[in-house]
Amino acid sequence: MAIDSPKATLCSKKKAQDNIAVLPLQDGWGKKHQLFIKWKFLESKAAAYYFHGLILDEGNTEKSHRAAAAALHASEEYEVHNLLKTELRVYIESLKICLEYILPELKAR
């Protein structure tokens, strides 16, 4: 399934999340699949916010070189506390969905 592929776009993961919402999911596995897709969508959304901040203007100007150096430094020093408010909120929501997805399986063991 494309939802678990790291090469799948954010748009394709959003479509999968929207399409599975209209399916009749009466058993426990259906809910688990919904949580998994929501988790992967939010995970890719958090990554998209982060990488959007690293998109640079291409050019040979001094400003472009400074921006490239700053982005390289930021990517090397990337940690959760460096996220913007929106990124942090999406990241936390992704972790909550991840826990909702994993905890029932751990309790069943």
Measured distance CA(55)–CA(66) in Å, rounded: 13
Task: Give the pLDDT confidence score for residue 43 in this predicted structure.
Answer: 72
1 lies in some domain: no
| Secondary structure letter of residue 79 according to DSSP | -
Q: Whole-model pTM above 0.75?
A: no
Categorize the per-residue pLDDT at 95 as very low, low, confident or very high, splitting at 50, 70 and 90: confident
Question: Please, is 84 exposed, middle or buried when counting C-beta atoms within 10 Å of its C-beta (0-12, 13-18, 19+)?
Answer: exposed
| DSSP type of residue 80 | G
Distance CA 54, CA 48 (A): 10
Domain assignment of residue 15, yes or no: yes
Overall number of domains in the chain: 1
8 Å CB contact between 10 and 51: no
Tell me if 57 is assigned to some domain: yes
What's the pLDDT tens digit per position in 29-70? 666 777 777 777 777 776 666 565 545 445 555 665 566 566
